[in-house]
Amino acid sequence: MNKPVLIVGGGLSGLACAVSLQKAGKPFALFESSNRWGGRAGSDRKDGFILDRGFQVFLDAYPTAAEFLDLDALNLKPFCSGALVARSGRFQTVADPFRHPKHLRDTLKGPLSPADLLRLGRLTFRLKGMTREKALSVQDESALEFLKSRGFSHQAVESFWRPFLGGIFLEPDLATSSRMFHFVFSLFARGRATLPREGMQAIPDQIAGNLPIDALKLNTPVTELQAQGIRLASGPWIEGEHVVDARDPWTSPDEAPDACGTVCFYFACDHVPWTGPWLVLCPEQEHINTLTDLSQLHAQWAPPGKHLLSVSCLNTGVGEQEVLSDLSELFGDQARKWKPIARMEIPNALPAQPPGHLSAVSKTGFQANGIIRCGDFLETASIDGALLSGKRAAEALLHHHA
Ligand SMILES: Cc1cc2nc3c(=O)[nH]c(=O)nc-3n(C[C@H](O)[C@H](O)[C@H](O)COP(=O)(O)OP(=O)(O)OC[C@H]3O[C@@H](n4cnc5c(N)ncnc54)[C@H](O)[C@@H]3O)c2cc1C
């Protein structure tokens, strides 16, 4: 019998590689060190709350994700398109006028000047039809340099772009490549930011659920990888036809990219002072970058009668008291009564993707040592990039045998 392909790492890239091999009829075995699938995309359940491992969203226009997921079965619900901006003690609106026409008047009175709104509208229109390949071929500069070159005012950058994009890139300097900006913003222009009804964990669980159970090994850390074999932490050496390394990039310190981190706090409360599943940007707060009431998106993420507030900070050292102090500035004394549910610090959330990192040419594939490498850090650092990288790893392997 043919030796299986050995895939190390059960995040989205490893899972996508497994699915692609399965479709081609290639035997494989997938080894994951932790007790669940999904790596950085996952959720916990606690006291009746669903808590994603850091605030993240699934863009329903992701081009590769649709190949791997039954989107209907995920019961995706969209956030409002745009954001509320918490400034000077009140919420101002930046809403997509086509999707939320009733918020047009509020948007015209919001933090963006008419000229900035026009720039935003033109940019959205231009990026709507942009393919991934085109986005990854635009002039490579930082996202901040790009926005400035488009003429956005200081106020538009500071009150809207910096917290909005900072929350996506998980870095406040907007030093991420404008290619990543074009990729992500074209998807916002075409589709919606959503979350599955059962939390992010539903995404890897759905993919793993379609794979043969005897090929899947949870709680199985691998300590050594070679081109045709791996050693399990429990001792045995396993031979394979090929080895795919789908571990996160920080497992190899020599090659590890700089990491962008975040800390996410969850609070339970009885009431929040806005209506609808809006992302709230907090440009004036010292610690909080964004927050959102997840129970207004999916009521079942909190026990009946409760709201689940997710609060994201970009400085990983931030503590609960600092966040509560920011919340009190925003919402008054009521915030002091909000019950902390969890604090999740994720220093290695995303690989940094500065100019020079991204191109339309894939970096996934065979390394000099004969091992095939995949992961989000080799494509666009996202759910979609991880899935694409796993698919490309399988393609490289199948091509090798063609
Ligand atoms: C807080 C946060 C917010 C994010 N926001 C978004 C967002 O809004 N939208 C979006 O698209 N993406 C977002 N992302 C990024 C997205 O989650 C990742 O790009 C994607 O999940 C990475 O998948 P991966 O397979 O490349 O790596 P990983 O998920 O890191 O998978 C690697 C796997 O390898 C396993 N492993 C490591 N060492 C070993 C070993 N020795 N033996 C066996 N297994 C091992 C790990 O346990 C892990 O399961 C966010 C990520 C985080 C953390």
In the chain, domain spans: 5-42+201-257+363-401, 51-195+259-351
Instruction: Identify the segments of the chain with pLDDT beneath 50.
Output: none
Residue closest to 292 by CA, chosen among 303, 306, 282? 282
Q: Is the CB of 33 under 6 A from ligand 1?
A: yes
Residue 97's pLDDT is what? 84
Residue 1's pLDDT is what? 64
Residue 2's pLDDT is what? 83
CA distances from 65 to 68, 195, 312, 361, 387 (A): 5, 14, 25, 19, 7
Mutate which of 40, 52, 60 to test ligand 1's pocket (most atoms within 8 Å of Cβ)? 40
161 Cα–ligand 1 center, Å:
25
Q: Is the CB of 41 under 6 A from ligand 1?
A: yes
Domain 51-195+259-351, classified CATH 3.90.660.50, yes or no: yes
Q: Is the CB of 347 under 6 A from ligand 1?
A: no
Comparing 5-42+201-257+363-401 with 51-195+259-351, is the CATH topology the same?
no
Length of the chain: 402
Ligand 1, atom 20, residue with closest C-alpha: 383
Ligand 1, atom 52, residue with closest C-alpha: 349
Residue 120's pLDDT is what? 96
Residue 88's pLDDT is what? 77
What pTM value is reported for the model? 0.97
10 Cα–ligand 1 center, Å:
9
* Helices vs strands, H then E, count in the chain: 12, 21
For residues 339 and 353, what is the distance between their CA atoms, to the nearest angstrom? Answer: 36
Architecture in CATH of 5-42+201-257+363-401: 3-Layer(bba) Sandwich (3.50)
Q: Which two tokens stand for residue 8?
A: 């190390």
Residue 44's pLDDT is what? 97
Q: Which two tokens stand for residue 143?
A: 């996202």
353-391 as b/e, with b when 16 or more CB fall inside 10 Å?
bbbebbeeebebbbeeeebbbbbbbbbbbbbbbbbbbbb
